[in-house]
Amino acid sequence: MQSGLRWAAMRQIVTGLVGTLGAVAYTHFIQPEDLGAYALAALVYGGLFLLVQAPIRDAVVYFQEHESNPLPGQSNPHSRAAFWLLAGFSAAAVLLVLVFAGQMGRLYHAPRSTSLTRGMAVVFLFQALAVVPAGLLLKRFRFALHEGMSTIAELILLVGWVTLAALGFGPWSLVVPYLVSSIFWAAGTWTATQFRPWPVPEKCIFRQVFRFSRSLLGSKLLVYLSRNLDNAAVGTLGEKALGWYSFGESQAEYFGIVIGETVAQIALPAMAAVQSQIERLRGIFLDMLRLTAAASIPMQVGALVLADLGISAFLGEKWLGAAAVFRAYLVLWLLRTLLNLGDSLTSATGHPQIRLTFDLIQLPLFAAGTWFGLQVWGGIAGVAWTLAIVRLAVGIFYFTAVLRLVQADVRTVLRILLPIALAGAGMGLSVHLARGLLPIGNEAVRLLFLVVIGMGVYAGLFYALDAGGFRRVVRMVRDILIP
């Protein structure tokens, strides 16, 4: 697992550069309205990919089988069944999108979104083709290949974003790089695994895969609705408002994806391999929980305090309208980043229905929160803060349920998380105070000094509050970075 995290850490360094440099570049060349048009297309793509990626990938990893054949895809009937289920869904979904994209553009009075939506449907098709072979790479702990190809795909995005945005392609500068990257990713994973979907497995295998995936599929459908009802509602305010909202929400998710989803993805096959050994399973979960919290919380707190300064310094004042949304969702992702690991645990232990139950509970609350935020609180900030509060409340109960799977009591988890949270809060306070005291006029230089100050304060407080936990995190990071 250390090897997997090492490769994932290397990829996330690249991902961090891509996300930062890409956002800085394209936000200078495109307008919030352009991002709003793209966000409408991304509504469709994000929902489709969310519905297939986790249910199918987790099914591929979950079914532990001996695959002695040199072509592992051929010797694994569950992987082949997963592919054909995915192929059928993807083909039908893409056809529907191509047919009805025009109606969506007319509904939102955004004609540019029609062609953008069709373009993202093609991106989804290539991404879907890669789900099963990518899951096989994870299942077989071939992290070097998985993360190496992911890194190249991220670099393709960066080059594409910067080049096409500078050339004046507008919202298409965000779509075309995804298409090229997805084609590379699909070709690379199929070549690396030598996956072949033939022969078609027996019906009982399809039933087993579907039975495992259906709860995840239902859960992801609910997640899609809960994630996109707000975007659909904000879209009625116009492309500019949606551009700000989409930008703030997506950038707030950044640290959760870079840290939380990466650790969860690597931990999934490790936890699946010891799913019947509760002590080892609990040990892996708690270690990864500590690592995820220690890495993500200081980043998120720092971004929360310095949001407006960072946006103004690097992206320009035209994007300051996204600052309130960015802060609201950063508060949410303080917890949601940790819940990524819980999602992997439910899949690794064969209990995806837990997620489905809580997503069912959350959906009506989310719909009510979207209405309240838009109509009562008012504006994109009202929507963001209302939904952040709703998701936090449901997330706390979900996290408590997940802990029962590894028989971990709340006190044990608090002993791990509380020192990290307090160190993060102390860091945020110190950075807030220092921000008003530093006599530096240049915003970028002042931001750099504040980040350095925050890192020092966080490390010192973490060590003072939990020296043992601090040393354990340092050892894990050392083991990940140094072979």
DSSP string computed for 353-387: HHHHHHHHHHHHHHHHHHHIIIIIIIHHHHHHHHH
Asked whether the whole model's pTM tops 0.95, one would answer no
Q: How confident is the model at residue 28 (pLDDT cuts 50, 70, 90)?
A: confident
Neighbours of 455 (CB within 10 A): 14
Phi-psi region of 238 (alpha: psi -120 to 50; beta: other; left: phi over 0): left
- Residue 483 above 70 pLDDT? no
CB 45 within 8 A of CB 123: yes
Q: How far apart, in whole angstroms, are the C-alpha atoms of residue 55 and residue 59?
A: 6
Q: Tokens 């096989």: give the residue.
A: 136
- Residue 217 above 80 pLDDT? no
Residue 82's nearest CA partner among 189, 195, 218 is 195
Residue 124's nearest CA partner among 96, 165, 84 is 96
H/E element, 189: helix 172-193
How much is the mean pLDDT over the chain?
88
Report which of residues 212 and 70 the model is more confident about.
212
Cα 302 → chain centroid = 19
Largest CA distance in the chain: 71
Report which of residues 27 and 94 the model is more confident about.
94
User: Which range (48-57, 129-138, 189-198, 385-394) has the least confidence?
Assistant: 48-57
pLDDT for the residue 364:
92
Token pair listed for 173 = 């500068």
- Residue 24 above 70 pLDDT? yes
CB 384 within 8 A of CB 366: no
Residue 227's nearest CA partner among 35, 36, 50 is 50
Token pair listed for 403 = 């802990």
DSSP state of 321: G
- The Cα-based distances of 475 to 73, 82, 290, 482 in angstroms read 36, 38, 12, 10
pLDDT for the residue 7:
62
Rounded to the nearest 10°, the torsion over CA 6, 9, 10, 14 is 170
Per-residue pLDDT reduced to its tens digit, 118-138: 999 999 999 999 999 999 998
CB 58 within 8 A of CB 133: no
Cis, peptide link before residue 199, omega less than 30° from 0: yes
Q: How far apart, in whole angstroms, are the C-alpha atoms of residue 407 and residue 252?
A: 31
Q: How confident is the model at residue 234 (pLDDT cuts 50, 70, 90)?
A: very high
Work out the end-to-end distance of the chain between its first and last CA atoms, rounded to an integer number of angstroms: 12
Q: What is the mean pLDDT of residues 32-50?
A: 89
Rounded to the nearest 10°, the torsion over CA 299, 305, 306, 309 is 160
Q: What is the mean pLDDT of residues 170-175?
A: 94
pLDDT for the residue 119:
96
Q: Report H helices in 274-351.
A: 278-314, 323-348
